Structure 1
Amino acid sequence: MTVSIDSAPARTGTGRLIIVLGGLSAVSPFAIDMYAPGFPEIVGSYGTSKTAVQLSLTACLIGLAIGQIVIGPLSDAMGRRRLLLAGSGMFTVFSLVCAVAPTITVFDLARLLQGVAGGAGIVIGRAVVSDRFTGTHAARRLTTLSVIGSTAPVLAPVAGGLILDIGSWRLVFVALALTGLLLLLAVRAWVPESLPAERRRTGGLRAVFAAMGGLLRRRELVGYLLVMGCGLGALFAYISGSPFVFQNIYGLSPTGYSLVFAANAVGTVAAGTVFGRLAGRVRLNSLLAVGVAITVVSLAALVGLLSLGISTFPTTWACLFGLTTGFGLLLPASTTIILAVGGDAPGAASGLLGGAQFVLGAAAAPLPGVLGNTTAMSTAVVVLGCSLIAAVALVALARPWQGHGEPAGQS
C-alpha cells in the first residue's frame, strides 16, 4: 500500500514494522565491527597478522556491498518478503560459522557470506519504507533507519567489549547468530509483502539492472553516492585502525577501548538526534555539508598535530570524536537525499546506496594496516583522505546548492 503525501499511514502494525526494519538495519552494521575490540586476541588465536585480521572486516564489507547491489534490484522484480526471510536465515547460519571457524581463511570466507546475507535486511528495509510511505511520512521513517544504521557501527565495538569481558571473541558471533534468529522470526510474523505483483518491475533481470544503470547516469546521484561512500570509508578506516591505535600505541585495555568508542558514539547519536529534529525544517543539503565539513576539519587537525609531534591521547580522541559527530549528520542526510533522487526505482537506488557504502568502506578499511599500525598517523591519513574525497564530490558533482532531493518547499 502506498500512502499519499497528505495522509498519515495506517497505525495498524506500523510501529512493529519499523522496529523490525530498524533491527535489520542495525544487525549487519553491528556485525561489521562488533568484534573489533578482540582484534589483538584474534591475531593470537589464529597465529596470523594484524592485516589478515583487518581483512576479515573488509570481507564483510565486500559481502554487504554485493548483497545490496544484487538483492536490492532483485527485490524490485521478485518482491520483498521472501528475499528478506532468506537473507535473515542465511545471516544466522554464517554468523555461527564465524563462531566456530577453525582457520583465518574459513573465518574470512564466512565473513564475506555473512555480509552478503546481511545486505538483504538493509537494502530491503529501505525499499519497504519506500513502498509503504511517501512524502514526509517516508522521510521520517527513512531518517529513523538512517540514524540507526549510522550509529550501529560506532556502538557495536562497545557491545563487543562487554561480551569480551565474559568470554572470547567467538562469543560475539554467537550473539549475532541469536540476534539474526530473532529477526528471522520477527520478519515472518510482522513484515508482510509490501510490493504486490502488479507493481513489480517487469522485463527480467536485464530491466532491473538497466534501472540501476539509468540512475548512475545522473551526475548529482553519483556525487551523493561518493559523498556517502567516502564517509563510510573514513569511518571504517577509523574502526579497523583504532583498536591498534588505542590498545597498542596508547596502552588501553579492551574495556578501555570500548569506553573510548562509547564516548565517540555519543557524538554520532547526538548528531543523529539533531538531524532527526532538523530534517523537514533545515535543508538536507545544508545538514550534509555541515557533516562533511566537521569530518574534514577534525581530521586535518589530527594530521597536523601528529605531523608536529604534539598529539596526545586526549587530542587524538577529541579529533576522532569530531569524525564520528560529523558522520552522524553525513550518513542520514546523504541516505535520505539519494533515496529521494532515485525514488522511481527504490530497490535499485537502495542497492546502489548500499553498494557505494560498503565498496568504498571495504577499500578503505585495510589501508591503515597496509600503511602500518605502529603510529596513529597511518589511520589519520587514510581517514582524512576519504573525508577530502567526499568534500570534493559534494562540491563538484552533488552541488548541494541546487537542492537535489529536498522535500517540496525546501529546494
Structure 2
Amino acid sequence: MTLIDSAPPRTGTARLIVVLGGLSAVSPFAIDMYAPGFPEIATSFGTSGTAVQLSLTACLVGLAVGQIVLGPISDATGRRRLLLAGSALFTVFSLLCAVAPTIAVFDVARLLQGITGGAGIVIGRAVVSDRFTGAHAARQLATLSVIGSTAPVLAPVLGGLVLGIGSWRLVFVALALTGLVLLAAVWAWVPESLPVERRRAGGLGAVLSAMGGLLRRRELVGYLLVMGCGIGALFAYISGSPFVFQSVYGLSPTAYSLVFATNAVGTVVAGVIFGRLAGRVRLNSLLVTGVAISAASLVVLVALLAAGISTFPTTWVCLFGLTCGIGLLLPAATAIILAVGSDAPGAASGMLGGSQFVLGAAAAPLPGVLGSTTAMSTAVVVLGCALLSALALVTLARPWQGRGEPAGEH
C-alpha cells in the first residue's frame, strides 16, 4: 500500500457526505459562478460574447468527458487516487483560467477544468455505491442531488459578490482555493472505498468492456435516457427562462433571479422529500411520479399557451411543477442506475454523468433555435424532453419490473 492510499479506515458518514457534496457542487459553481462577468471577460480579451460563451460549452464538454472516462477508470485503479488528482488539477486549471492571457488559453483551461471537476461528481457517486446499499444509498445520493441542485442557484449570486470586489479573474482564484480546500478534505476524510480485490483488472480494455456490458442492458439504457432527457428538459428551461420572464413578461433581472431561485427551491424540497420517502416507497414509484409531474406540468403549460393564456403566474406555476418533478426524478434515477450497474459502479456513474451533460448541452440552445426564444418555443422544447423521458421510462426502463430496487422492495 502506498502513502497516497493510506487513510483512516473509517470516517463519519456525515463528514464523508459533506466532502462528497462539496466535490459534487464545485463543478456547478465552475459552470455558473463566472456568468455575471461575461461582458467583462469579453472586454478583457477583446473578443465577442459568443467566444466567451464557448468557454461554457468547453466546460460542459469537459464535465461529460471527465465523467465518462474517469468513472470506469476508478473501477480499475480505486477512488481515492483519482479524487486527490482531480481536486489538485482542478485547482491548477482554475488558476490557469485566472491568469489566461488570451481567450484561446482560457477556453482550453475551461475544458481541462471541466474534465478534472468531473472526477468529484462521478467518483463521489461511486464512493456512495461502494459504501452503501439499498435505501441507505438512495438517501445519500439524494443528499448529493440536493447539494448539486442548490449550487447552480447560489453560484451566480456568489459570483456577483466576488465581482463586486474584484475582476472576473478573482472568481477563478476563489474556485482554485475551493479546490485546494477539497483536496485537503479528501486527503483527511475520504478513505479508499474500493478494495484491491474488488477492482477491475485489464486496463483500458476492461474499462471499455465494462461500459459495453452495461450498455447491453436494456433497462439501464432506459434509465439513462430517462435521466438524460429529464436533464435536457431542465437545461432547456434554464436557457429559455431568462428570455421568457424578462423579455416576454417584463421582469427585471432581480425579479427573475427570485423566480429562478423559487423554482430551484422546488427541486431542493422535492429532493428532501425523496430522501424521506426512500426506503418506504419503491424507487421506481418515486421515479414514475417525478416523470409524470414534469410531463403533466408542461402539457398544461403548452395547452394554456396554445389557448392564448400566456400570463406570468400560470407560466411560473407550471415551470415550478417541472422543477419539483425533476427533484424526484434525479435522485430516483441516479439510485436505480447505480443499483442496476452495481457490478461496475464507476462505469455506471460515468455513463450517468455523461448522458446528463451531453443531452443537457444538446437541449440548452433549442428554445431559441428558430431565431427568438418565446414562452411557447421554450415550453415545447421542455415538453418534448419530458415526453422523451416518459417514453424511455415506459418502453425501455419498464419500472413495473422493479429493477434497481433494494431487496424486499419489489
Q: Same fold (TM over 0.5)?
A: yes
Alignment of 1:2-21 (within 5 A): 12-21=11-20
Shift in CA distance, 41/324, structure 1 to aligned 2, threshold 3 Å: farther
Alpha-carbon RMSD across the aligned residues, in angstroms, is: 2.6
Question: Is contact 2:10–2:191 with CA below 8 Å preserved after alignment?
Answer: no
Task: Give the Cα separation in 1 of the matches to 2:40 and 2:323.
Answer: 25
Shift in CA distance, 262/201, structure 1 to aligned 2, threshold 3 Å: same
Give the aligned partner of residue 271 of structure 1.
270
Give the aligned partner of residue 86 of structure 1.
85
Question: Is contact 1:155–1:261 with CA below 8 Å preserved after alignment?
Answer: no
Task: Give the Cα separation in 2 of the matches to 1:120 and 1:309.
Answer: 46
Shift in CA distance, 82/360, structure 1 to aligned 2, threshold 3 Å: same
Task: Give the Cα separation in 2 of the matches to 1:176 and 1:127.
Answer: 24
Task: Give the Cα separation in 1 of the matches to 2:67 and 2:314.
Answer: 37
Alignment of 1:125-136 (within 5 A): 125-136=124-135
Task: Give the Cα separation in 1 of the matches to 2:220 and 2:210.
Answer: 13
Q: Deviations over 1:165-201 (max 9, x none)?
A: 5555554433322222211121122112222322211
Task: Give the Cα separation in 2 of the matches to 1:160 and 1:303.
Answer: 34
Task: Give the Cα separation in 2 of the matches to 1:272 and 1:154.
Answer: 15
* Count of equivalent residues: 402
Alignment of 1:324-403 (within 5 A): 324-403=323-402
Give the aligned partner of residue 3 of structure 2.
none
Q: Deviations over 1:265-287 (max 9, x none)?
A: 21011101110101111111111
Unaligned runs of 5+ in 1: 1-9
Residue 193 of structure 1 aligns to a residue in which SS?
A: coil
Task: Give the Cα separation in 2 of the matches to 1:49 and 1:371.
Answer: 22
Question: Is contact 2:240–2:373 with CA below 8 Å preserved after alignment?
Answer: no
Q: Deviations over 1:106-151 (max 9, x none)?
A: 4433332221111100111111122223344333322322332344
Alignment of 1:6-155 (within 5 A): 12-37=11-36, 53-101=52-100, 104-155=103-154
Question: Is contact 1:33–1:239 with CA below 8 Å preserved after alignment?
Answer: no
Shift in CA distance, 374/330, structure 1 to aligned 2, threshold 3 Å: closer
Shift in CA distance, 345/89, structure 1 to aligned 2, threshold 3 Å: same
Question: Is contact 2:95–2:176 with CA below 8 Å preserved after alignment?
Answer: yes
Task: Give the Cα separation in 1 of the matches to 2:85 and 2:40.
Answer: 32
Task: Give the Cα separation in 1 of the matches to 2:221 and 2:103.
Answer: 36
Question: Is contact 2:62–2:111 with CA below 8 Å preserved after alignment?
Answer: yes
Task: Give the Cα separation in 1 of the matches to 2:371 and 2:47.
Answer: 15
Give the aligned partner of residue 285 of structure 2.
286
Shift in CA distance, 100/218, structure 1 to aligned 2, threshold 3 Å: same
Shift in CA distance, 316/221, structure 1 to aligned 2, threshold 3 Å: same
User: Which shifted more, 328-337 or 361-370?
Assistant: 361-370
Task: Give the Cα separation in 1 of the matches to 2:93 and 2:28.
Answer: 15
Question: Is contact 2:86–2:120 with CA below 8 Å preserved after alignment?
Answer: yes
State the percentage of identical aligned residues. 83
Shift in CA distance, 314/57, structure 1 to aligned 2, threshold 3 Å: farther
Give the aligned partner of residue 4 of structure 2.
none
User: Which shifted more, 400-409 or 128-137?
Assistant: 128-137
Task: Give the Cα separation in 1 of the matches to 2:255 and 2:163.
Answer: 12
User: Which shifted more, 34-43 or 105-114?
Assistant: 34-43
Give the aligned partner of residue 5 of structure 1.
none
Using the TM superposition, give the Cα deviation of residue 323 of structure 1 relative to its aligned residue in structure 2, in angstroms: 1.7
Shift in CA distance, 370/167, structure 1 to aligned 2, threshold 3 Å: farther
Q: Deviations over 1:32-90 (max 9, x none)?
A: 23344555666676676666555443322221111011001101111111211111122
Shift in CA distance, 330/50, structure 1 to aligned 2, threshold 3 Å: farther
Task: Give the Cα separation in 1 of the matches to 2:308 and 2:234.
Answer: 24
